[in-house]
Amino acid sequence: MRVNPVLALAPRLQRAGGRDSRTTTVLAVTAFAVSTALTLSVVAALLGFVDRAAHPVTDLEREAGGFYVTLAVTATILLVVPLLTLGGAAARLGVARRDARLAALRLLGATPREVVGLTLVETALQGLAGAVAGTALYGVLLAVWTQIPFQGRPFTVGELWVGVPVVLLTWLAVPLLAAVSGAVSLRRVVVSPLGVAQRVTRPGLKAVRVVVAVVAFGAFMVVSVAGQALAAAFVGIMLAGLAVAFLTMNAVGPWALGVLGRVRLRLARTPEQLLAARRLLDDPRAVWRVVGGLGLASFVAGCLAVVPLLAGGPGGTREDAIVSADLLTGSLLTLAITFLLAAVSAGIAQAAAVLDRRRELSLARLAGVPTDLFDRVRRREVLVPVLVVSVGSALAALVMFFPLFGLAAVTAPQGLLLLVGSLTVGVGLVVAATEATRPLLHRVLADTVVRAD
């Protein structure tokens, strides 16, 4: 079989990329692996609850099986976007470096189809490697998941094993989604090979995103009140509304960050304030990719702050106590996974940003820009958006649930503790993940770009 000569270049280009190329490959595969392992874990839990509802062993499983499945579906909905965010971050990782390389190929005469093909091959291979590694990680995590009791007894490995068909489907879906995401982010190369090198100003984000979000949130709040009359459809409507509201967070986040960037630019007095504000304003979507996961996680925390209320007070039956405990356990697990995903997404996205800027950062250091300035900028560009996004997202969730629960979610000590505690841990995790990119930044800055000339 005759292999297209440009596609045959893929492994060579990968090797020729040197240390940065290896770094981006390792980071991308790690991100795909983490998202695959957690996706399989979430699917496993959902299938486990469905199986228990279908084949109940205890009275609780017989009576509350459907309720548990609804909760598992809710958790899955809450986790879908963070999982997709991490997958997208992995696919975009180092795409600017590939952009430059592939733009050069375009200028040398490679066809758009060949350029896209090369990207598909490279990203899909990373996706496949991540999916296989993620399946192994899921196997390891089963040992953890089977220690946690639900409905009065822990799941067995058999209950949480998703089965070979699901694993094979994952190995097919992850590379496919990775390739599609990579191809979409390389669209500009195909349209104009010079567009990449020029790095022109991106079009601004329209305020219409906010209108869409307000409508979606409003609709959820109205439906959550009116929908109580439609008891049968209530749960379905609520879950659909939650999913829509959750997706609109992704639409509003970058816009809100853009507004924040404009304000900070106007107020900037020092070089680090100026650079941090400009980076935020330059590409709010890129910063959202760093902090968005945390925003979504905080939104989840805001949603789950009502759980202690739902869990009920003392004096119930043994089944009531188990359901209450399970609600809390499930909420904390969902939160832990979303914050973990957010932290990994943040670290991956910032590593990609450092590698994308490597030449200008290195030349700036040569011209005498102090190394610690870039560290201060890196912290500043993440910390303020992290705080604004996490608190803003949690507030949005509280407002959305106001018609159902009023202010009880934050006036009840347990709810407030859950919310504040999880936000604190989440912000800490994201900051720690971005600090992990410090050695990479310093390595890039240490490169003097000097030829032995």
Partner 1 sequence: MNNRSVPVRPPLPTASSGPTPSSGPTASSGGAPRLAARGLVHRFGATTALAGVDVDLAEGESLAVMGPSGSGKSTLLHVLAGILVPTSGVVALRGQEVQGLGEKERSLLRRSRYGFVFQLGQLLSELSARENVALPAMLTGTSRAAAEGAADRWLAALGLTGAEGRRPGELSGGQAQRVAVARALVTRPEVVFADEPTGSLDQSTGHDVMKLLVDSTRAVGASLVVVTHDADVAAWCDRRIDMRDGLVVAPGSTTGTGAGPRPGERAAAASVGQDLGHGLGDLPVSGGDR
Q: Which residues bind partner 1 (CB under 8 A)?
A: 198-201, 268-271, 274-275, 278-279, 281-282, 357, 359-360, 363-371, 373, 448, 450-453
Nearer Cβ to partner 1 (146/362): 362
CB of 387 to partner 1, least distance (A): 21
CB of 276 to partner 1, least distance (A): 10
* CA geometry: angle 83, 296, 28, nearest 5 deg: 35
CB of 369 to partner 1, least distance (A): 7
Nearer Cβ to partner 1 (191/407): 191
Nearer Cβ to partner 1 (153/278): 278
Nearer Cβ to partner 1 (268/395): 268
CB of 109 to partner 1, least distance (A): 21
In 3D space, the residue among 125, 42, 29, 144 whose CA is nearest the CA of residue 83 turns out to be 42
Nearer Cβ to partner 1 (187/359): 359
User: How far is 257 from 278, CA to CA, in rounded Å?
Assistant: 11
Both tokens assigned to 117: 């093909």
Both tokens assigned to 148: 């946690």
CB of 189 to partner 1, least distance (A): 15
Residue 95: C-alpha distances to residues 163, 183, 437 (Å): 34, 10, 17
Residues sharing a CB contact under 8 Å with residue 400, sequence separation 6 or more, in sequence order: 217, 220, 221, 245, 302, 303
User: How far is 173 from 46, CA to CA, in rounded Å?
Assistant: 19
Nearer Cβ to partner 1 (140/450): 450
Strands (E), 12-171: 149-150, 153-154
Other residues' Cβ atoms within 10 Å of the Cβ of residue 255? 20
DSSP string, 116-150: HHHHHHHHHHHHHHHHHHHHHHHHHHHHHHTTSEE
Residue 284: C-alpha distances to residues 144, 278, 341, 438 (Å): 37, 10, 20, 21
Place of tokens 């188990």: 322
Which sign does the torsion angle of CA 244, 245, 251, 254 carry? Answer: negative
CB of 365 to partner 1, least distance (A): 8
Nearer Cβ to partner 1 (52/380): 380
Stated as kind and residue range, the H or E segment containing 431 is: helix 413-435
Nearer Cβ to partner 1 (112/195): 195
b/e 191-217 (16+ beta carbons within 10 angstroms → b) = eebeebeeeeeeeebeeebbeebeebb
CB of 84 to partner 1, least distance (A): 27
CB of 308 to partner 1, least distance (A): 44
Nearer Cβ to partner 1 (147/201): 201
CB of 270 to partner 1, least distance (A): 7
